[in-house]
Each structure stands twice: as structure tokens, then as C-alpha cells.
Amino acid sequence: VKLKWRGKIYNILARKEVILSAGSLNSAQLLMLSGIGRRDHLTDLGIPVVEDLPVGENLQDHYGTGALTFTINQPVSLVQTRYENIPAVLKYAIFGSGPLTVLGGVEGL
């Protein structure tokens, strides 16, 4: 690994295997930027090929809980009356759960 720290460049070698983990999307990206991936794809991008492997070919983004999706009949995805009320605020403040923990825009599709 080559890195720059405090203005100085360091080369760090590993005696054994290196575990690369950057999440479901960025791990595949880092591998490909490092030259590990489909030869044709890396060549198209001008990345020198280290190993021709099917990196990221079964990549799936899990954006829902249990793959459940639903539609709503309103032009907004978060219905204000569900989270702007005293019980919802108390549930979040005391237990850290409830409708106030939902990521913005993912309550409905």
C-alpha cells in the first residue's frame, strides 16, 4: 500500500493477506481501481489489470426492509402526522426507536 501522511510518502507491505472492506458498493470500486475486476471493463477505463475476476457482478442494493415495497397515495413519502406528535417524539427520546428513526424519503416509494 502506498500512502501519503503528513506530507511524506510511505510504502507499507503486508506479510500475510490484506482484508479490504469498504461497504457493499465501495469494496467493489476499490478492487476495480486496484486492477482487480473484469479485464474488458478495466481496460476500457484505462486501469492496468492485476487479476481478471468478476468483481461486483452480483452487486445488489438493499434499500428496503425485507424487500417490502409499497406505494402511498400522497405526494410525500413521510406523512407528517406519523412523526410530528408527542408519542413519536417520546418514543424516540426514550427508546431511540419509532418513526423519527426512518431515513428521509424511504418510508414509501
Spatial distance between the Cα atoms of 78 and 84, rounded to a whole number of angstroms:
10
- The residues near 84 (Cβ < 8 Å, ≥ 6 apart) are none
CB contact set of 97 (below 8 Å; sequence gap of 6+): 91
This prediction has a pTM of: 0.44
What number is the average pLDDT over the span 10-38? 87
- Distance between CA atoms of residues 15 and 5, nearest Å: 22
What's the confidence (pLDDT) of residue 24? 72
The pLDDT value given to residue 109: 47
